[in-house]
Amino acid sequence: MHAQLLPVLGAQRAGTATAQFLKIGVGARATAMGDAFVAVANDASALYWNPAGITQFQTNEIIFSHTSWFLDIQHQFIGAVYHLSLDDAIGVSVTSLHMDDMQVTTEFAPQGTGNYFSFGDLAAGLTYSRKLTPQFSFGATVRYVQETMDVVKMRGVVIDFGTYYWTGLGTSRFSAVVTNFGNEMSPSGSITLYGGETISKFQEFSPPTNFKFGFAIDPIKDETNLLTTAIQLNHPNDNSENISLGAEYGWRNTLFLRGGYKLNVEDQSFTVGGGLATTISGITLNVDYGYAAYANLGGVHRISMNVKL
């Protein structure tokens, strides 16, 4: 027997929240840093990680992100950030999770009945952020969520709140973020069981709300080298508390190497990745790759492209 840094408290809540696709990280840069990104969040992927982050850069940006999830499931994200002024920014984003149609099977037709059903998730968000002082920013996202399970749909609205604060001590900053906060949701529609019974009332489930506290600092920063390190505490409503650690090294703001590690997260451990930035006709293009290792399910590959206008 030995003591744990973080006891496995809250694991009994697993499976109590819906819209699990909202927990899939966006952007190869952030996920390669072990998801320790809420206190970094200085590109368009902040639309997902921390809405206050979209005022931490001055360029207008578009991000495309693709994740090859488990079992041929595909996860896509597209977002855009536009700066209204030096202190105000807005953004829009769309998230999609989809897979090929699956065969309908029954007890008496385990190989399939010849019919197929579909499953897919969709979310669309609108983000606003304002820099209240040179040190402190606040942001919020309102997101419409829809899950489609054959003839049954689940719809709802969730909200993200984020803060971003530069402490004034070197390059240190911290953030506090609440994601996917909202009312309970239940499916709408009706299904007919094999015996002919029709069910149209379903149990309600909470969205996957997560409280995140992050801290980041750049221990090395000069004209050639930039090293960013980050630590993040996560408190989900449907699992145990956990810690994310991440680091990013950039050479001449052109070549990037990243790594991360997760503590107290079942089946997950290290992440790695890298990126390349180039400028063409005044437009900066960042292409990133990230890999996340899972002990039993294999690895997850992500690629993303960030266009800075």
Please write the tens of the pLDDT for every residue from 108-159. Answer: 788 878 888 788 899 999 999 999 999 999 999 999 999 988 888 889 999 9
Look at residue 3 in the predicted model and tell me its pLDDT: 47
Q: What 3-state class would DSSP assign to 241? A: coil
State how far the Cα of 55 lies from the Cα of 43, in Å rounded to an integer. 9
Bridge partners, residue 304, by sequence: 65, 288
The amino acid at residue 266 is E
pLDDT for position 268 = 84
And the tokens for 98? 């989809």
Taking the CA atoms of 197, 199, 203 and 207 in sequence, report the sign of the dihedral they define. Answer: positive
Provide the token pair at 141.
């996202």
Name residues of the chain where pLDDT drops below 70.
1-15, 194
DSSP bridge pairs for 248: 228, 258
pLDDT computed for residue 14 by the predictor: 66
Helix residue ranges per DSSP H, 61-173: none
Q: What is the pLDDT of residue 11?
A: 59
Q: Using the structure block, give the residue that is written with the tokens 């979209």.
A: 54
Angle subtended at Cα 95 by Cα 179 and Cα 234, rounded to the nearest 5 degrees: 25
pTM for the complete prediction?
0.90
Task: Note the pLDDT of residue 118.
Answer: 80
Report whether 35 contacts 246 (CB < 8 A): yes
- Alpha-carbon separation of residue 246 from 96, 112, 140, 175, 271 (angstroms): 26, 45, 24, 15, 9
pLDDT value for 7: 52
Dihedral of CA atoms 76, 247, 261, 160 in degrees, nearest 10, equals: -50
